[in-house]
Structure 1
Amino acid sequence: MTRDLYEEIDPRRVNLRKLCGGGITSSMESCVAAGVVPGNPDAIVIGDSKLGEASPLLIFERGELQNFVNAFNAGEI
């Protein structure tokens, strides 16, 4: 059975840290806001730091993000 992290976690209660680097264009740096869910170190919340509180917040399990990073590093995406 697949877990529904959106039923388990209120992402607005997670303290997010702004992470920046690189950019799509030379005039704009790419930033995200991310944080680990307290009490659930396998749940990560990610949002768009430029949108602030208006940003949609996405919740991922740590393994899902690792799969994304692995596919990116392998040139698959």
Structure 2
Amino acid sequence: MQSILARSPLLRQQAFRGAQRVQVRLAHGHGPEHSVPFSFSRKPAFATKVALYLGFGFSIPFVAAVFQLQKSGAGAQ
């Protein structure tokens, strides 16, 4: 029992030494002004494409809900 108590600070020190922080290096060659991983030349066209993409993804659950309601007859008009 005495040897376990005597070794515990030593084990903690060894564990602390093994858990040192490693500096993260930037693996890309461009600076912080490039926040997206690609370049685009026309911002309005890019904004339109992003809006369509996100709008389509947002509308999928609503289209599915309407389809299920019509399929069950609950949404019959």
Same fold (TM over 0.5): no
Alignment TM class, shorter chain as reference: under 0.3
Using the size of structure 1 for normalisation, the TM-score is 0.23
In proportion to residue count, which structure has more helix?
Answer: 2
Larger Rg: 2
In proportion to residue count, which structure has more strand?
Answer: 1
Using the size of structure 2 for normalisation, the TM-score is 0.23
> Bigger relative contact order, structure 1 or 2, given CA contacts below 8 A and separation 6+?
1
